[in-house]
Structure 1
């Protein structure tokens, strides 16, 4: 059954991404939703679309992981307590690109945060603190980059 679900996931991913590329001006999908499918992040905050719901296990960043991260970020945002990316890594016991004691890795934190940024969760000051120069790895700077359809990479 896993192979069937994976095949269906890849077909759905292809359909969503190719539809977005074919109809850039009138794509029915938000940038955040397109990015989530492209990057493998479960699009938890896209309730209007439900094409992702049968495929939680196929996303590289699962529903429970994006929920866990969003709750932590939301708590910090509501408390007006900015968090840096390195503090985020410390919280999840991620030590750079080579060591982790959790399900989280640097790339997962970056892609999950980018999805939430594109979904316009939290404010610009919060995101600016997260990716403050010197308090985040250089690859985390991509979190706050605008999304372009040319970023889509079929792999």
Structure 2
């Protein structure tokens, strides 16, 4: 009788031990992310980054357009032109590193007209004709890049 009880208890202990190990194995396998899950998470992060970049580009484009319109409608309003130049620089600074990281070639092309535009708009006596030309060139480049990433 003692022997049967001993065998029974041994079997119960072995069963509990194996059951516990199996439960731990099931839990740990659900914590491991499959390559598909990782890729999905990466795509979601990229989509979020792209969405933020597009919003930033829209803000920069809006600022360029406001600067251009102010230059056309109120060319003597130097204070307003200077403010838009400063705002343009601040808005570009927010997305500049991302653009550079994603597309160096587009980044260089945009900055060839954007930085002269910012510099001209911040001058004490900005040349409105130069601002108009640079604003149109910058707008084209920004819109082209926006389409490229969308």
TM (norm. structure 2) is 0.29
Which has more helix, going by share of residues? 2
TM (norm. structure 1) is 0.29
Which structure: larger Rg? Answer: 2
